[in-house]
Amino acid sequence: MTHAIDDLMFAPLVRRHPGVSRRSSSWDRTGGNLDFVRVEPGSTVTLLDERGPGCVTHLYCAMVGPDITDHRDAILRCHWDGEASPSVEVPLGDFFGLCHGRVRRFQSAMVSVNPGMGASFGLNAYFPMPFGSEALVTIENRSDRVLGGPLGCLWYHVEYLTFDEPLTSDTLRFHASYRQERPTTPACEPANIQLHAGRNTDGRDNYVALEAVGRGHMVGLVLEIDNLAGGWYGEGDDMVFIDEDVWPPSIHGTGTEEVFGGGACPTEEYCGPYSGFHLIENPDFSGLVGMYRWYVPDPIVFDQSIRWTIEHGHANNFANDYSSVAYWYQAGRRAPLQALPDREALRPPLPPNYEEVRDATFAYMAAHTDDLSAIAAVSVPFYRGDFEQALARAGA
């Protein structure tokens, strides 16, 4: 039996949800207030180990005064239903949209990075992650130091539902995978300049953000570029090859900025519910950029396979560092995710004097623990990547 209320936008809010609400968190089991865990060098902590069926609904993590390299040294993994290889394997910062390890506070439909006291920020993700018999969510610390900077603390929440009834057979599983190519190889000359006369008629040399075999739909992408060449790099079309596509692909775009909802050649950072250029290091396009696109109202559906690609410069004539996180749902994954690079290869781009800046910043924060405004004055530019400003404010 249906009712008129079922047609209202807020109908899901007034109908009882199935399942039982639960949370796994880092609360202090002694009853005290040390509500964090320590992730020692080379160790792995478990955020969630639950027997199903159920569905993760929210992931939250926070640290105070982390090293910028922690964002790549910490690896988030999710295993569903006892699988041997993970369905999610992504550096922690990149999963939450921290491009190149830099912090930009932003809110979107699926991911948000919220402010704290300057040296801390709340990382949130809202992708539903169903599981039929088991969910295992972990973070590995691949560094040689405790995760989380001088304090060495990681706070976390994992919100989830458990169900009495098994999931239906058509319930897809959530996946996320990190890839990088540092640098890309120019496919034609002249290299590293805007090139309008070149031709790309097969997409073979494009940067590849996702390759998956099976049935499902892609729901998101974070793309990170270190524009080593300088100048406008974004004359690169997205090309998405679906199922039996050869050429042309099912989806062919008109330029990098169009994928992420921007006007021509964005020079200002912006963020929206489903798209954003939330990191633009320099208005002349050089250096670091980061962007996201959530294909939530318009998922990219595939029945056999998907290959999401983008040109690095028109006709792939730019040599730049590319990295990305792809998010998708699918049934029947047939192969493990592409293996992550080793720790050194994953290291975010940092200036030669980074350790000097980091040590001065941490020393200043330690000396001003009773003055959060002073901590923010130094830590905010540090985590944004404005290292010279942070060094100057630290008085070093």
What average pLDDT is seen over the chain?
A: 96
**pLDDT mean over 290-300:** 98
User: What gap in Å lies between CA 263 and CA 275, rounded to an integer?
Assistant: 12
As given in the structure block, the two tokens for residue 150 are 């001088």
Task: Say how far apart CA 88 and CA 384 lie, in whole Å.
Answer: 26
175-346 carries CATH number 2.60.120.1390:
yes
Torsion of CA 157, 383, 282, 342, to 10 degrees: -70
- Enumerate the β-bridge partners of residue 308: 210, 240
**369-387 residue pLDDT tens:** 999 999 999 999 999 999 9
For residues 66-74, average pLDDT: 98
pLDDT over threshold 80, residue 9 = no
Cβ neighbourhood burial of 387 (10 Å; 0-12, 13-18, 19+): buried
Confidence of residue 320 (pLDDT cuts 50, 70, 90): very high
Query: What's at 267, amino acid-wise?
Result: T
| Nearest C-alpha neighbor of 348 from the set 65, 42, 61, 73 | 73
Q: Please report, for the chain, the start and end positions of each structural domain, with discontinuous segments joined by +.
A: 14-162, 175-346, 354-393
* pLDDT score at 1: 66
DSSP tag of 108:
-
On whether the CB atoms of residues 63 and 363 are closer than 8 A, the answer is no
Closest of 187, 202, 210, 208 to residue 245, by C-alpha: 202
Is residue 46 left, alpha or beta, with left meaning phi > 0 and alpha meaning psi from -120 to 50?
beta
Residue 122 φ then ψ, to 5°? -95, 125
- pLDDT computed for residue 208 by the predictor: 98
3-state SS assignment for residue 349:
coil
Residue 171 has a pLDDT of 97
pLDDT tens, position by position, 224-262: 999 999 999 999 999 999 999 999 999 999 999 999 999
pTM of the model: 0.97
Q: pLDDT band for position 396 (50/70/90)?
A: low
Element containing residue 77 per DSSP (H, E) = strand 74-80
Torsions phi, psi for 36 (to 5 deg): -145, 170
Nearest to 192 by CA among 321, 313, 323, 315: 313
The mean per-residue pLDDT over the stretch 23-39 comes to: 97
pLDDT tier, 18 (very low <50, low <70, confident <90, very high otherwise): confident
Dist. CA 361–CA 350, nearest whole Å: 15
**Residues 14-162, CATH architecture:** Sandwich (2.60)
> Does 14-162 match 175-346 in CATH topology?
yes
Residue 294 confidence (pLDDT) above 80: yes
Q: Which residues contact 369 (CB under 8 A, 6 or more apart)?
A: 375
pLDDT band at 149 (very low <50, low <70, confident <90, very high): very high
Buried b (16+ CB within 10 A) or exposed e, 176-207: bbbbbeeebebbbeeebeebeebebeebebbb
